[in-house]
Amino acid sequence: MSKFRILIIDDDKRHLKTIKAVIDQIKSPKIEIVTQSDGLEAFKILQNEYNYNFILIDITLRQIDGLVLLRYLKENKNFIRSYIAILSTSNNPKDIEVARKNGADAYITKPINCSEESMKRLQNIVKLVKTKGYSKEFELYEL
């Protein structure tokens, strides 16, 4: 059986480390996590690697905007079955709507703290996406 591949793109290395650690706690050998802290490098990777099931993108990347990455992925037929979530510190309804209109499958608010409740929520999101796969319904999650 193939691995469930997750790509996490966040230029805040603390958030990147925390998200990866929380997902690692699911303890599934069938989950592979790839991280990238540089938006431009992530873009280059995504031009050659298409087999990600779940992609989490920070909306405010330094070298390339998270929404630009999101639009690229949604316009590229190679990612038609990838579940793509935007990560943001903003819970402003306008920001959420912009992400939805640009094709995000989900919007996840951060900061992702190390509270047990926050970690469980993130793990549940990953398990849900892993179980049900791609969904056409937009989802909003608060960590």
Determine the average pLDDT of the residues in 7-15: 92
List, in sequence order, the alpha helices (H) in the chain: 13-24, 39-46, 66-75, 93-101, 116-132
Pairing, β 139-142 against β 106-109: parallel
**What's the CATH number of domain 4-116, 3.20.20.80, 3.50.50.60, 3.30.420.40, 3.40.50.2300?**
3.40.50.2300
Confidence of residue 62 (pLDDT cuts 50, 70, 90): confident
Determine the average pLDDT of the residues in 25-48: 89
Phi, psi for residue 57 in degrees, rounded to 5: -125, 125
Q: pTM for this structure?
A: 0.88
* Average pLDDT of the chain to the nearest whole number: 87
- Has residue 1 got a pLDDT over 60? no
